[in-house]
């Protein structure tokens, strides 16, 4: 196993075709998932006539900002952890210097980058939040009752991606290149699993909020 990962061919695989596969599945799969849900919704005659754009935007706005809705305010700890987790999870990979360099080397494009120290802290935040979520799944009886294996696997994927990235950056534990290969591999697994699993919630969030925001607008109340 160790030799297998150390083999340069493995690097060529995870850095070459697997990246293409991961990004194609991620982008095409996500578009397909969103489009198929919208097409399905068009078949149900009661959905689109009731969608209210103003209420939708209001609803999304109130839930996407920290402490913007009633439930976020009622649970400050969860809110803080959730928002830190999601902000760091989404923005660290996009604006990381080394990721940007890869884009630049391959396609000659680049954009803003985060200072290395801040990116490091954001990575640690994601790791700590993953541990928090895992402990919550184990020790909160309400959450434990509804925990299935995929829920733990989602946390594990995020954790391993960021943890291997963190270790590779600091060159701890395993040799740098092996840690890096593992990091790339887990990152690709994460990208692939977004359209294929419930991680699609990053896109469905806007659709489900659109429906419920419009419903509550119809009932002359607000859902935040």
Q: Which residues bind other proteins (CB under 8 A)?
A: 37-38, 40-41, 43-44, 47, 59, 63, 70-71, 74-75, 78, 82, 140-148, 151, 154, 198, 200-201, 204-205, 207-209, 211-213, 215-216, 223-224
Q: Considering the complex, what minimum distance in angstroms separates the CB of residue 8 from other proteins?
A: 39
Q: Three-class SS of residue 136?
A: helix
For 187-218, the DSSP string reads HHHHHHHHHHSGGGHHHHHHHHHHHHHHHHHH
What CA–CA distance (Å, rounded) separates 56 from 127? 32
Minimum CB–partner distance for residue 98 and other proteins (Å): 30
Name the one residue in this structure whose structure tokens are 């884009």. 103
Q: How far is the CB of 4 from other proteins (least distance, A)?
A: 34
Structure tokens at 3: 């030799």
Smallest distance, other proteins to C-beta of residue 187, A = 21
Nearer to other proteins by C-beta: 5 or 207? Answer: 207
**b or e along 150-181 (b: 16 or more beta carbons within 10 Å of the residue's beta carbon)?**
eeeebbebbbbbbbbbbbbbeeeebeeebbbb
- By C-beta, is 114 or 152 nearer to other proteins? 152
Query: Cβ 41 to other proteins, closest distance in Å?
Result: 4
User: Which residues touch 221 (CB under 8 Å, ≥6 apart)?
Assistant: none
Q: What is d(CA 218, CA 46) in angstroms, rounded to the nearest whole number?
A: 13
Q: Which is nearer to other proteins, 173 or 202 (CB)?
A: 202
* DSSP label of 50: G
| Smaller CB separation from other proteins, 95 or 204 | 204
Based on CB atoms, which residue is closest to other proteins, 19 or 156? 156
Rank residues 188 and 223 by Cβ distance to other proteins and give the closer one.
223
Question: Cα(160)–Cα(65) distance, rounded to whole angstroms?
Answer: 27
Least distance (Å) between residue 147 CB and other proteins = 6
């Amino acid at each position: 196993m160790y030799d297998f990962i150390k083999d340069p061919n493995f690097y060529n695989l995870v850095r070459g075709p697997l990246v293409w596969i991961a990004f194609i599945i991620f982008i095409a799969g996500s578009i397909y998932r969103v489009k198929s849900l919208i097409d399905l919704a068009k078949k149900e005659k009661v959905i689109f006539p009731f969608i209210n754009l103003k209420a939708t935007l209001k609803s999304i706005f109130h839930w996407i900002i920290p402490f913007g809705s009633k439930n976020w305010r009622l649970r400050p700890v969860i809110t803080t952890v959730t928002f830190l987790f999601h902000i760091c999870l989404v923005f660290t990979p996009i604006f990381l210097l080394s990721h940007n360099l890869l884009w630049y080397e391959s396609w000659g494009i680049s954009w803003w980058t985060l200072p290395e120290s801040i990116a490091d802290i954001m990575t640690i935040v994601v790791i700590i939040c993953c541990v928090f979520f895992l402990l919550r799944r184990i020790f909160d009886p309400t959450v434990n009752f509804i925990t299935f294996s995929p829920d733990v696997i989602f946390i594990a994927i995020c954790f391993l991606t960021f943890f291997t990235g963190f270790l590779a950056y600091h060159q701890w534990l395993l040799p740098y290149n092996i840690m890096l290969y593992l990091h790339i591999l887990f990152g690709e697994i994460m990208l692939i699993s977004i359209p294929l699993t419930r991680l699609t919630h990053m896109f469905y969030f806007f659709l489900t909020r659109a429906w419920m925001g419009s419903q509550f607008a119809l009932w002359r109340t607000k859902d935040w």
